[in-house]
Amino acid sequence: MSRLEEVIGTSGERLDVAVARVAGVTRTQAARLIDSNAVRVGGTPRSRSYRVEAGDRLEIDVPGPEPEPAPEDIPVPVVYEDQWLLVVAKPAGLVVHPAPGHPSGTLVNALLARAGRLPGDASRPGIVHRLDAGTSGLMIVAKDAEAFDALQKLMAARQISRTYLALVEGATPPAGEIDAPVGRSPRHRKKMAVVAGGRSARTAYKRLGSFGETSLLEVRPLTGRTHQIRVHLAAAGYPIVGDAVYGRNRKLAVKLGLERPFLHAAGLAFTHPITRETLSLEEPIPEDLERALAAARTSR
């Protein structure tokens, strides 16, 4: 790892833009550095949207090149596949790509064994969007560069519809939309939070059932921020049952037999970027969530 230092000469530039320019990395890579506290302004970590001022001293810890992940024979259910892309049903507990603490045994390692070389960032090839390790369900993976670029544009334009099922604490309204900016928590830098100056984030939900202590929701993220659904529902007073980071009632998770957040990516709908076919895919909730839901229905 090396350290870069530079004194900013002009004011008004976003921190992620300044870091990308100074370190010679993409803006996405700059954002990752900022989020991991590898960037400091005058010795203090700041958010991506911080506006640098003339005279600010940037300190950037630049990691060395990451080793490319190796193929590993890890079974992952495939819901759809053609020559351009595939959609997998990621099991809960499977980390999406290698990272500190998880150098192997990830979804990316499994995909490389199945599909060979994939496009995009060498450390997370083919990955168009992510699911948290504890979240199960549908994920799109690109198999060639043309599909990768097109899928990223569809995601940025919010033309990929994603539907989740979540069991939350408390009785929610029948439906609603949460519109609140999400960013790095100022108190816990490894957590996200609703914060002034965060990135715009919107989440719509509809109640499918109410069971006294809990409610089952159909959730649609209208933007794609880190931990968005978990953060928004917790901020609204309805944290996801079993969420050890943003939840509140740990006894409830134990009561329902949950060992991870009750959050499942149940549906995907989008226009295939190459064939223009309309794809609408669904994945039933796995057995552990099915058991927890049955317990919730009888624990009024």
Backbone angles phi, psi at 29, to 5 degrees: -65, -35
Structural tokens at position 131: 């699911």
User: Max Cα separation, the chain?
Assistant: 64
DSSP notation for the chain: -EEEEEE--SS--BHHHHHHHHHT--HHHHHHHHHTT-EEETTB---TTPBP-TTPEEEEEEPPPPPPPPP------EEEE-SSEEEEEEPTT--SS-BTTBSSSSHHHHHHHHH-S-SS-TTSTTBSS---TT-EEEEEEESSHHHHHHHHHHHHTT-SEEEEEEEEES---SEEEEE--EEE-SS-TTSEEE-TTSB--EEEEEEEEE-SSEEEEEEEESS--TTHHHHHHHHTT-PBTT-TTT-S-HHHHHHHT-SS--EEEEEEEEE-TTT--EEEEE-PPPHHHHHHHHHHHT--
Using alpha carbons, select from 41, 95, 103 the residue that is nearest to residue 68. Answer: 103
Q: Cα–Cα distance between 223 and 104 in angstroms, integer? A: 29
Q: Find the angle CA(22)-CA(23)-CA(27) to the nearest 5 degrees.
A: 95
Which of the residues 16, 35, 56, 132 is marked catalytic? 132
Structural tokens at position 78: 């495939």
Would residue 132 show up in a list of annotated catalytic residues for this protein? Answer: yes
Task: Enumerate the active-site residues.
Answer: 132
